């Protein structure tokens, strides 16, 4: 076992002395040492239930014949970090999490890892670490939140809080309704209720084969989730004994399967950052072109929030990811999973309980999958949109630019009623380098929807969007403004043309005019000049390559 290096031989007497100081019994010293990384924190709703799941993972590891050692990793709630300085730290935290797990796992020579996670950047960070360290590992996602309820209708975080801000500004809802919404929308533990980034990444993790079947959609408050946590603890010991490592699971075929499931669900555009980053650690190349190719050939069969009407609890009760795999089985590769079962077996034994929540291919909600990758004179290296969350009317759009140098400037104009129908809101210098940290623009996109402009105004940015974004909102414009992409020289009044079916996004200027503008262009001074974010900005790569760090 890998841990023998810290516990075998006379020369390791001091190491054993320190291990015994932790209270480990002599009877346990020769068992597999399992590191359990937990992102428990009191401030993230998706993580507040993890203390309970930690107990069940621990029971499972002991039952399976291993010995667990817990350590913590940081977590950020993107909803709480949204719209202020805090959001600069969200995407960069993915790299910190991967580095912390690598550091602790290698320093203590764990034989295996259980990675307890849930929310947006934490799950991909854990997966990146699992691939990098490449000891047997299993992911436990802590599960989605129940829908909120108010006066007989179900509530979700994005539609009923973020979008409510715009409605309030227009006088469509009252002070008393605001107060009621803020206490009813999120009823307790769990990741936000729609197919936002946290739940999308949980589903991707299960489709990759890195969590047990049913893990991603089992609710945070359920006994099923406890059993999955227990079984994950047992299973990791088996994986150690069989030497089934992440790189044996995280193959190119597995990534193709995961992207297909993502497209079928209409998942968050953030997966276009996270999946390539995870693949890179596994030694697999995943390109923007792969996302678009798979999306063109994968029907959208689950109409989930924010673009659709179904909640994660609906997907769970309809059969979860195994049922989605059943629908997609003819197009999937028969890859290995941490359960020991292969994808075909999981799909074959699954049952679709609700054929409206998880539709058959012939009755798909859309012929193509959730994400479209656009390119053109405005985004030579690509841009990303959640096309299944765009109304048919806005799939093709031409409008005049209203340019802002930050999210705050844009939000002030939107809520101040200064954005009119026919506009394209341009928010730049919010990319990986320029942000730094590629902030999400949920406040801006939700306010456009709440102000009733969702079918007459588009938004483009070199930043990114929350999984909760809906409408013609195009992010990840690459190259970003800070790196001299064409978005840097757009001016108010320039005409921008968007054609999602043709995968095009263009600024209607001649090449000569663009070159002329660049002659006098200089990038903005860095917004943050010290600390972790300054180092991140110096090392991060383009959104088109997953915003990974240079080595």
- Three-state secondary-structure class, residue 507: strand
Give residue 357's pLDDT band: very low, low, confident or very high (50, 70, 90): very high
Residue 481 has pLDDT above 90, yes or no: yes
The answer to whether residues 437 and 533 touch, using CB atoms and an 8 Å cutoff, is yes
Q: How many alpha carbons fall within 13 Å on the CB side of residue 117?
A: 38
- In this structure, the number of other CB atoms found within 10 A of the CB of residue 25 comes to 8
The percentage of residues in the chain with a pLDDT greater than 90, rounded to a whole number, is: 96
Q: Distance (Å, rounded) from C-alpha 229 to C-alpha 129? A: 20
On whether the CB atoms of residues 134 and 247 are closer than 8 A, the answer is yes
Residues 186 and 194: their CA atoms lie apart, in Å, by 12
Q: Tens of pLDDT along 234-281? A: 999 999 999 999 999 999 999 999 999 999 999 999 999 999 999 999
pLDDT at 462 over 90: yes
- Is 3.50.30.80 the CATH number for 372-545? yes
- Nearest Cα to 308, choosing from 441, 444, 207, 158? 158
User: Regarding beta strands 504-507 and 495-499, do their DSSP bridges make them parallel or antiparallel, or are they unpaired?
Assistant: antiparallel
Q: 438 phi and psi, to 5 degrees? A: 55, 65
Task: Please check whether residue 319 is in contact with residue 216, taking contact to mean a CB–CB distance below 8 angstroms.
Answer: no
pLDDT recorded at residue 551: 84
For residues 124 and 198, give the distance between their C-alpha atoms in angstroms, rounded to a whole number: 10
Q: What is the pLDDT of residue 531?
A: 97
323: exposed, middle or buried (Cβ count in 10 Å: 0-12, 13-18, 19+) = buried
Q: Is the dihedral of CA 276, 277, 282, 284 positive or negative?
A: positive
Q: 490-518 pLDDT, tens per residue? A: 999 999 999 999 999 999 999 999 999 99
Cα(414)–Cα(203) distance, integer angstroms: 34
Quickly list H helices, 341-484: 343-349, 407-415, 442-450
What is the per-residue pLDDT for 236? 99
CB 540 within 8 A of CB 534: no
pLDDT tens string 100-115 = 999 999 999 999 999 9
Q: What local confidence, expressed as pLDDT, does residue 524 receive?
A: 93
Residue (of 385, 389, 453) closest to 415 by Cα position:
453
Q: Is the dihedral of CA 488, 442, 258, 276 positive or negative?
A: positive
Share of the chain above pLDDT 70, in %: 100
| Burial annotation 297-311 (CB, 10 A radius, 16+ → b, else e) | ebbbbbbbbbbbebb
Considering the domain delimited by 31-146+188-349, tell me its CATH architecture. Answer: 3-Layer(aba) Sandwich (3.40)
* Helices (H) then strands (E): counts for the chain: 21, 14
User: Average pLDDT in the 510-534 region?
Assistant: 96
Domains 31-146+188-349 and 372-545 share a fold: no
Catalytic residue among 213, 216, 466, 478: 466
Q: Measured between alpha carbons, how far is 211 from 213 in angstroms, rounded to an integer? A: 7
Helix axes 223-242, 50-64, angle to 10 degrees: 40
Instruction: Give the integer Cα–Cα distance in Å for 443 and 167.
Output: 13
pLDDT higher than threshold 90 for residue 336: yes
pLDDT at 68 > cutoff 90? yes
Is 275 in contact with 259 (CB distance < 8 Å)?
yes
For the chain, the domains span 1-30, 31-146+188-349, 156-186, 372-545
**Is pLDDT above 90 for 468?**
no
Mean predicted lDDT score pLDDT of the chain: 97
How are beta strands 153-155 and 148-150 bridged, if at all? antiparallel
Q: How many whole angstroms separate alpha carbon 537 and alpha carbon 529?
A: 9
Question: For residue 279, what are the contacts with CB-CB under 8 A and spacing of at least 6?
Answer: 250, 252, 255, 285, 286
Note the pTM of the prediction, 2 decimals.
0.97
d(CA 249, CA 244): 8
pLDDT tens track for 366-410? 999 999 999 999 999 999 999 999 999 999 999 999 999 999 999
Residue 232 known to be catalytic: no
| Strands of the sheet with 112-117, listed across from one edge | 67-72, 33-38, 112-117, 137-141
- pLDDT tier, 467 (very low <50, low <70, confident <90, very high otherwise): confident
Query: How far, in Å, CA of 353 to CA of 319, rounded?
Result: 6
Backbone angles phi, psi at 70, to 5 degrees: -90, 145
Measured distance CA(217)–CA(322) in Å, rounded = 10
Question: Which tens digit of pLDDT belongs to each residue from 151-178?
Answer: 999 999 988 999 999 999 889 999 999 9
Lowest mean pLDDT among 240-249, 285-294, 340-349, 439-448: 439-448
Q: What is the pLDDT of residues 404-438, one digit of tens each?
A: 999 999 999 999 999 999 999 999 999 999 999 99
pLDDT of 209 strictly over 90 = yes
């Amino acid at each position: 076992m890998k841990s023998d290096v810290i516990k075998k031989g006379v020369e390791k007497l001091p190491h054993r002395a320190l291990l015994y100081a932790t209270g480990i019994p002599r009877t346990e010293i020769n068992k597999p040492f399992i590191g359990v990384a937990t992102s428990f924190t009191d401030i993230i709703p998706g993580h507040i239930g993890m203390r309970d799941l930690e107990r069940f993972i621990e029971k499972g590891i002991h039952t399976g014949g291993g010995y667990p050692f817990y350590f913590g990793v940081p977590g950020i709630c993107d909803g709480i970090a949204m719209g202020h300085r805090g959001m600069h730290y969200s995407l960069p935290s993915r790299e910190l999490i991967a580095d912390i797990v690598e550091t602790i796992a290698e320093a203590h020579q764990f034989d295996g890892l259980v990675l307890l996670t849930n929310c947006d950047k934490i799950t991909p960070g854990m997966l990146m670490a699992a691939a990098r360290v490449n000891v047997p590992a299993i992911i436990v996602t802590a599960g989605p939140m129940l829908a909120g309820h108010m006066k007989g209708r179900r509530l979700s975080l994005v539609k009923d809080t973020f979008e409510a801000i715009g409605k309030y500004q227009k006088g469509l809802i009252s002070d008393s309704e605001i107060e009621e919404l803020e206490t009813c929308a999120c009823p307790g533990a769990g990741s936000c209720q729609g197919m936002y980034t946290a739940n999308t990444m949980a589903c991707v993790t299960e489709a990759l084969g890195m969590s047990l079947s049913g893990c991603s959609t089992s609710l945070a408050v359920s006994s099923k989730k406890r059993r999955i946590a227990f079984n994950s603890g047992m299973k990791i010991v088996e994986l150690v004994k069989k030497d089934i490592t992440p790189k044996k699971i995280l193959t190119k075929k597995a990534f193709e399967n995961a992207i297909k499931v993502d497209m079928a669900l209409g998942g968050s555009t953030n997966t276009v950052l996270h999946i390539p980053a995870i693949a890179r650690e596994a030694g697999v190349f995943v390109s923007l072109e792969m996302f678009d190719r798979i999306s063109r050939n994968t029907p959208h069969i689950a109409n989930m929030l924010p673009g659709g009407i179904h909640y994660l609890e609906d997907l769970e009760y309809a059969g979860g990811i195994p049922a989605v795999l059943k629908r997609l089985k003819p197009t999937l590769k028969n890859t290995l999973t941490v359960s020991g079962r292969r994808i075909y077996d999981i799909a074959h034994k699954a049952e679709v309980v609700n054929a409206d929540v998880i539709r058959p291919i012939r009755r798909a909600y859309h012929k193509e999958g959730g994400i479209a990758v656009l390119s053109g004179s405005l985004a030579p290296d690509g841009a990303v949109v959640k096309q299944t969350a765009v109304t048919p009317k806005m799939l093709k759009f031409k409008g005049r630019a209203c340019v802002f140098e930050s999210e705050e400037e844009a939000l002030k104009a939107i809520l101040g009623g200064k954005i009119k129908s026919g506009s394209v809101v341009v928010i730049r210098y919010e990319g990986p380098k320029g942000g730094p940290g590629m902030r999400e623009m949920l406040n801006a996109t939700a306010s456009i929807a709440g102000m009733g402009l969702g079918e007459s105004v588009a938004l483009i940015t070199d930043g990114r969007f929350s999984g909760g974004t809906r409408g013609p909102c195009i992010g990840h414009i690459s190259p970003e403004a800070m790196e001299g992409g064409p978005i840097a020289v757009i001016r108010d009044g320039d005409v921008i043309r968007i054609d999602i079916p043709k995968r095009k996004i263009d600024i209607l200027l001649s090449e000569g005019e663009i070159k002329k503008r660049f002659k006098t262009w200089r990038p903005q001074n860095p917004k943050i000049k010290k600390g972790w974010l300054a180092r991140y900005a110096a090392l991060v790569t383009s959104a088109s390559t997953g915003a990974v760090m240079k080595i």
